[in-house]
Amino acid sequence: MSAPHGNGAAAGDALAPLADARRRCAGAPLGERFSLRFHAQLAERAEQTTQSGEPFLRLRFNDGAADLELRVWRRTTWWDACAALESGAFCEVRGTFVRRQAKYGADPERLEGRPLDATERAAALLGPPARREKLAADLALIGEKIDSLCDPRLQALARRFLGVHGARFRRACAARTYHHARRGGLAEHVAGMMRGAEGICAAYPHLNRDLLLAGVLFHDCGKLWECCPADADLGSPAPTLIGEMLGHITVGGEVVNRLWHDLAADTAAAGWEDLEPSSEHVRLHLLHLILSHHGEMQFGSPVVPKTPEAVALHHLDNLDAKLDMMAGALERAAVVAPGLRERVAPLPGLTAEPLGIFRPADDSGADDAGGLGAPDLLEDFGRAAFFPEPTRHS
């Protein structure tokens, strides 16, 4: 890519998060030209050819919250510069784009870029502004929940975990694909589950809140060694030897055991032997939550959930993961029919647009956009399909 002069943005040339850029590229009217400027890491560069034999580069950029793919044709003047880019490079990209075919996104008509400086690169690793704010709020919530634990053993264990492994925890993904598969995704996942755990404990007060919240924090802690990007990487992490040979459930149990025994030898653990329930039972129940959270042995858990908290944790994990998958499908999947998006694995079928939330007329600050417009989608359905007229008898 040819480099623009300097590294400042022109007036009105604001940085676009890749999620916004992707929506613009996919949704622009045919023939419309528009400008984009973004900071991102080049996650993948591949040279391919069309069915007619015309070569092009497929560039996939990532900004920590979304991906954007661009095609660069050999006939363009910026081909050589793009072909020289290495995966992992942090760039500023700016250009003019036009969407010429309905099947594909927009292609660049003019493209230029430059490497990010050290300050810009450090900012890019934190993600777009909205992403940074959300992750900061999620991490703050996790800290608040840990501080609220009443059991001193579980609280000390959680604090020791974040004190020793906090940097890895803050950047770990919850998965390589499917759900929360992004830098910081594990913290998002844990925070979402903690919010759900509070609601479940309010509905079922017999549950051990301290144990469940600790189980949420630690259930995927093995992902820190199975699914954690490098310090200077926004992309999906490569497989690791430990992760592949042991799996995150086994690693998570080992991490908790080591931290627990380190704490037991610490002066801070003085007096724990007199607490009830016993420390050994607390450790056993926490390990059971970690080992059983996949719910079934066929899905990787060596044991099935056998306590109320283990059952709750399994369903919280599944719920938070599924809702993130559906949010991703609604954000990225192509529309196949009014109100329907194409299937995105591993979801079992097409994803339907959610129903808009009803707001009273005086609730002017509410946003109910994005739901089904019943008159538009259901006008030809026919009321009689669900509500047939009663048969009249003479």
Could you tell me the end-to-end alpha-carbon distance of the chain, in angstroms, rounded to an integer? Answer: 82
* pLDDT score at 297: 93
Mean of the per-residue pLDDT values for the chain? 88
Confidence category of residue 4, pLDDT binned at 50, 70, 90: very low
Rounded distance, CA 130 to CA 271, Å?
45
d(CA 82, CA 63): 18
pLDDT score, position 385? 56
pLDDT digits (tens, 9 = 90+) for 15-38: 999 989 888 888 788 888 899 999
pLDDT at position 73 over 60:
yes
Q: How confident is the model at residue 393 (pLDDT cuts 50, 70, 90)?
A: low
Measured at the CA of 209, the angle between CA 205 and CA 215, to 5 degrees, comes to 140
Which of 143-152, 233-242, 290-299, 367-376 shows the lowest per-residue confidence on average (mean pLDDT)? 367-376
Would the pLDDT of 11 be above 60? no
Average pLDDT of the segment spanning 81-86 = 88
Dihedral angle at the C-alpha atoms of 114, 118, 120, 123, nearest 10 degrees? 140
Residue 102 predicted with pLDDT over 90: no
What are 34's strand-pairing partners? 97
Q: pLDDT category, 106, cuts 50, 70, 90? A: confident
The answer to whether residues 188 and 135 touch, using CB atoms and an 8 Å cutoff, is: yes
Which strands, in side-by-side order, build the sheet including 335-337? 335-337, 340-341, 351-352
Q: What kind of architecture, by CATH, is found in domain 18-122?
A: Beta Barrel (2.40)
- pLDDT at residue 160 is higher than 90: yes
pLDDT of residue 9: 46
Q: Residue 240 has which token pair?
A: 């690791």
The structural domains of the chain, with segments of one domain joined by +, span 18-122, 127-325
